Amino acid sequence: MSGARIAVVVKGYPRLSETFIAQEILALERRGVRLDIWSLRRPTDKFRHPMHEAIAAPVAYLPEYLRDDPLRVLRALGWAWRRPRFWGLLRLVARDLRRDPTASRLRRLGQALVLAREVAPETTHLHVHFLHTPGSVARYAARLTGRTWSFSAHAKDIWTTPDWELSEKLADAAWGVTCTRDGLRRLDSLGPDTTRLAYHGLDLGRFPPPPPAREPRDGADPEAPLRLLCVGRLVAKKGHDDLFAALKALPPGLHWHLDLIGGGELRASLETLARDTGLADRIVFRDALPQPAIVAAMREADVFVLPTKPAPGGDRDGLPNVLMEAASQELPILATAFGGTPEFLEDGVHGALVPPGAPDALAEALRALAADPSRRRNLGRAARWRLVQDFSEDAGIALIAGRLATSAGLVLPEGEAGA
């Protein structure tokens, strides 16, 4: 392997809600790719994932706001001033500013200058997760230094970034990947042939075998309520309000308990909603937890529920990794037929899918699953089979590793590079 390195630019690191990024970084390291992580924000989670401890790549933090480290930004500006590509970069940023005249745009430029100045000289390529803010930083730094750059696009960045910005980034990037066919269609409509499909998949070696059996609870006994589990940030696109409405609509004789794992901006309003709808005594709000605790909760639950939907402003999920994690434990899944979820789960085969934003349909599906423990068991087993057969991490990581090796001038061990 040559001494070349790749800089991976991320919005925040480490993040419990972005285990798919940590999984990818760790898998690339195991394939011999030398990485440096550059984060736009410092961590805010209380816990770290075990994968973060296993990752060897050094982490550097850019100034989240330029006022946080003005001397560092000024040193970068003075260095950039003498670069032959500096004026071309300023013309690009000026064009972007005319369409997006915001302080955030200038902050991205400042972060890009710091990245360009401080990145290791042996770094030959930049790879960024998310095409919105991080994508701008990587693009500007690459333009200034003459390096190539590529991207992994996921969800919010695909659906909330303006068409003009996505089109220009797609034209500028050497290549990219995205994790759902839904997202690929949008990116291909704006920049054909730049992006490939690479599902995140799951490294099943990180998960225990599914539990040998689950109690056949049906919710008829108030002393043995149906155990529901929902894991996801408390934000609009996760559909927690629809879940609460569906729970309110369940018949009084169906006894249930919901564990809600995740932190986020809607925590207070959802707690209020739970009280106002009379559900508070059956819902436990738990903060974001490390993956071992989440897996333990999955092993104790009867049904996993995730009713994602479009959020105001266009934000939406791709294919939530937590669905694959639930499938690893043969936990039956009730979700919405939205985003990338139907690419993983077929309704009635690997799980139960209902339309997004339809609490009545969600309630009816919950009632039917509660009444049929045998069906739940079959759905859970089928979902795990689907995961093992078609959604291991190997294919996606092989593709990304091969593309990175080509772009960065790396020679990977035989068998580690993908097409």
pLDDT digits (tens, 9 = 90+) for 58-88: 999 999 999 999 999 999 999 999 999 999 9
Long-range contacts (CB closer than 8 Å, 24 or more residues apart) made by 91-100: 92/140, 92/143, 93/140, 96/136, 96/165, 99/162, 99/164, 99/165, 100/162, 100/165
Domains annotated on the chain, with CATH: 5-200+393-408 (3.40.50.2000), 208-390 (3.40.50.2000)
Residue 49, Cα to own-chain centre: how many angstroms?
14
Q: What is the rounded CA–CA span in Å between residue 246 and residue 354?
A: 12
Q: What is the rounded CA–CA span in Å between residue 112 and residue 406?
A: 24
Number of H helices, E strands in the chain: 17, 13
Question: With the C-alpha atoms ordered 212, 218, 223, 228, is the resulting torsion angle positive or negative?
Answer: positive
> Which strand (E) or helix (H) includes residue 37?
strand 35-41
| Residue 70, beta-bridge partner list | none
- pLDDT the model gives residue 413: 61
Instruction: Cite the DSSP H helix spans in 197-290.
Output: 240-249, 267-276
**pTM for the complete prediction?**
0.86
Instruction: Kindly tell me if the per-residue pLDDT of 416 is higher than 80.
Output: no
- Residue range 307-314: average pLDDT? 93
Q: What is the rounded CA–CA span in Å between residue 346 and residue 36?
A: 38
Q: What is the rounded CA–CA span in Å between residue 272 and residue 23?
A: 35
- pLDDT the model gives residue 395: 81
| Residue 7, beta-bridge partner list | 36, 126
Cβ(62)–Cβ(128) below 8 Å: no
| Residue 40 dihedral angles phi and psi, to the nearest 5° | -80, -20
What integer best gives the mean pLDDT of the chain?
94
- pLDDT the model gives residue 250: 97
Is pLDDT larger for residue 205 or for residue 114? 114
